[in-house]
């Protein structure tokens, strides 16, 4: 090991992905080997596969408060978002062509809506306040008699802001408009009941709650008029063709059950570490701004702008110390455009530039927090000393 290789990796990017929990992997493994049967086949080993898929479907349904036949397995959050939005848009064209979403959605929603604009749909991208929260009154005002779908995410992946989903659902239900929510970041962190929250469609993704990548689900309330997304065989009750990702589905079912068993305990533990980290950063580094709502946010999320620094440089220097975080700026693509979420909450570009997101998870410890609090201040000082565009030259 060279001197510059850190002894330990401290992973603080759980909103990007989580490690698949070893217990989840253990549940999945037999479905690669002994229980490899195609759930559509008729002999015994295939029936076992089919039974296992049904069990996973019930595990998901129990968490959301719906029935198993309202759960459809997909290849992840992106596919679920695409299916919910395109599937209802095209199927309900005769009722109207207007869709309402927000400026801070994940690209899986935003780029899908932009695609639909090219197909003749009209899309309203709702603004959010300085904390990233949608105003229900603004939503009501944007509804027209041609609105067929409202899609608002439950919790934001960059700044962790939690939306008033129940209220938005009520508005949609009252106006007879379908309501989809991207709950990818919410599973395991927020209590969800699709009936109580008036949700018609909900997207989730296993790799965000210690399950495997490439597996997700879409809840579709019974009676929703939605087209099939992938055409072929009769899997997923004829709505999503293709031989099931058996190990993935088993992993998703087990992971969602695991992740939602003690949500309040989990949040208490994670938020106390998060607050210790955030308070420590603010105490030791001057001119740091928290992005998003101070309270109405995911328990594991810190998104800060460090004036006089560059997010990507912070990320790389933290990486050299073994700390994994992500940044809101997109310098890597060659453009220096700030994240659409930070723009939507009006973070000035000069400040948005120095943004990093730290998202904690189950494996993080108090020692990890102390380590980051040790290494981050000198990194910021170095970057500020180097920066030509400010007077942090001490
Ligand atoms: C990660 C994420 C997605 C995409 O899910 P994948 O399973 O990676 O395709 C969609 N929406 C949000 C809010 C996410 O955080």
pLDDT tens, position by position, 360-384: 999 999 999 999 999 999 999 999 9
Cα(340)–Cα(307) distance, integer angstroms? 19
> With the C-alpha atoms ordered 113, 119, 123, 125, is the resulting torsion angle positive or negative?
positive
- 300-340 pLDDT, tens digit each: 999 999 999 999 999 999 999 999 999 965 444 445 578 99
Which pLDDT score is estimated for 338? 80
Mutate to test the pocket of ligand 1, among 14, 77, 185 (most ligand atoms within 8 A of CB): 77
Show the ligand 1 pocket: residues with CB < 6 angstroms. 76-78, 81, 106, 108, 153, 157, 182, 184-185, 205, 207-208, 216
Residue 131 in this model has a pLDDT that exceeds 50: yes
Ligand 1 mean position, distance from CA 184 (Å) = 6
Which pLDDT score is estimated for 134? 98
Of ligand 1's listed atoms, the one at least distance from the Cα of 78 is 9
H/E element holding 180? strand 178-182
* CA angle centred on 233, ends 227 and 235, rounded to 5°: 75
CB half-sphere exposure, 74, CA atoms < 13 A: 26
To the nearest whole number, what is the mean pLDDT of the chain?
A: 94
Domain extents in the chain: 10-19+263-386, 22-259
Which residues have C-beta within 8 Å of that of residue 311, sequence separation ≥ 6? 327, 328, 329, 331, 353, 354, 355, 356
Ligand 1 mean position, distance from CA 378 (Å) = 33
Which pLDDT score is estimated for 393? 42
Q: What would the two tokens of residue 238 be?
A: 């004829």
Q: What would the two tokens of residue 318 be?
A: 């933290």
Ligand 1 mean position, distance from CA 77 (Å) = 5
Cα(234)–Cα(346) distance, integer angstroms? 47
Of ligand 1's listed atoms, the one at least distance from the Cα of 207 is 7
Which pLDDT score is estimated for 334? 47
- 153-178 pLDDT, tens digit each: 999 999 999 999 999 999 999 999 99
pTM given for the model? 0.95
Average pLDDT for residues 30-47, to the nearest whole number? 93
Q: Are 132 and 161 in contact (CB under 8 A)?
A: yes
Ligand 1 mean position, distance from CA 74 (Å) = 12
Q: Report the interhelical angle of 77-91 vs 107-118 (nearest 10°).
A: 30
Ligand 1 mean position, distance from CA 217 (Å) = 11
Nearest CA to ligand 1 atom 8: 77
Average pLDDT for residues 204-229, to the nearest whole number? 97
Residue 354 in this model has a pLDDT that exceeds 80: yes
- Give the active site residue among 66, 113, 324, 331: 331
Is-catalytic flag, 331?
yes
H/E element holding 301? strand 301-306
Residue 70 in this model has a pLDDT that exceeds 70: yes
Nearest CA to ligand 1 atom 15: 157
Of ligand 1's listed atoms, the one at least distance from the Cα of 215 is 7
Q: Which CATH class is domain 22-259?
A: alpha beta
Mutate to test the pocket of ligand 1, among 76, 113, 158 (most ligand atoms within 8 A of CB): 76
Ligand 1 mean position, distance from CA 208 (Å) = 8
Ligand 1 mean position, distance from CA 160 (Å) = 13
Mutate to test the pocket of ligand 1, among 15, 84, 106, 153 (most ligand atoms within 8 A of CB): 106
- Reply yes or no on domain 10-19+263-386 having CATH 3.90.1150.10: yes
| DSSP 8-state class, residue 13 | B
3-state helix, strand, coil in the chain (%, to 5): 40, 15, 45
Average pLDDT for residues 101-111, to the nearest whole number? 98
Give the Å distances, CA to CA, from 355 to 264, 276, 312, 352.
29, 19, 8, 5
């Amino acid at each position: 090991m060279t001197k510059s290789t850190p002894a330990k990796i401290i992973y603080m990017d759980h909103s990007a992905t989580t490690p698949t929990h070893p217990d989840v992997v253990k549940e999945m493994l037999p479905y690669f080997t002994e229980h490899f049967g195609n759930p559509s086949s008729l002999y015994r080993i295939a029936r076992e596969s089919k039974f296992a898929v049904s069990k996973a479907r019930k595990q998901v349904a129990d968490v959301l408060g719906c029935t198993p036949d309202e759960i459809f397995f997909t290849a992840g959050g992106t596919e679920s978002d695409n299916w919910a939005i395109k599937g209802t848009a095209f199927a309900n064209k005769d009722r109207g062509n207007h869709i309402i979403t927000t400026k801070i959605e994940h690209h899986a929603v935003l780029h899908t809506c932009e695609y639909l604009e090219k197909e003749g749909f009209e899309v309203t991208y709702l603004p959010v306040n300085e904390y990233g929260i949608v105003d229900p009154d603004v939503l009501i005002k944007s509804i027209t008699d041609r609105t067929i779908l409202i899609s608002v995410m439950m919790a934001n992946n960059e700044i962790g802001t939690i939306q008033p989903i129940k209220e938005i659902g009520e508005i949609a239900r009252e106006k007879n408009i379908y309501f989809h929510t991207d709950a990818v970041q919410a599973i395991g962190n927020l209590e969800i009941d699709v009936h109580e929250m008036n949700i018609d469609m909900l997207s989730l993704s296993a790799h965000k709650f210690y399950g495997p990548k490439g597996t997700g689900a879409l809840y579709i309330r019974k009676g929703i008029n939605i087209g099939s997304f992938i055409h072929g065989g009769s899997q997923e009750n004829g709505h999503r063709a293709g031989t099931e990702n058996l190990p993935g589905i088993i992993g998703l079912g087990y992971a969602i059950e695991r992740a939602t068993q003690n949500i309040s305990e989990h949040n208490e533990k994670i938020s106390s570490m998060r607050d210790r980290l955030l308070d420590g950063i603010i105490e030791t580094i001057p001119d740091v701004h928290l992005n998003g709502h101070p309270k109405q946010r995911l328990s594991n999320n810190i998104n800060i702008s460090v004036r006089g620094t560059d997010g990507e440089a912070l990320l790389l220097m933290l990486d050299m110390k073994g700390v994994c975080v992500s940044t809101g700026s997109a310098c890597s693509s060659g453009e220096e455009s700030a994240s659409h979420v930070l723009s939507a909450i009006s973070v000035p570009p000069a400040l948005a530039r120095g943004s990093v997101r730290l998202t904690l998870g189950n494996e993080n410890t108090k020692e990890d927090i102390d380590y980051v609090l040790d290494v981050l201040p000198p990194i910021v000082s170095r970057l500020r000393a180097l920066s030509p565009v400010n007077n942090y030259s001490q």
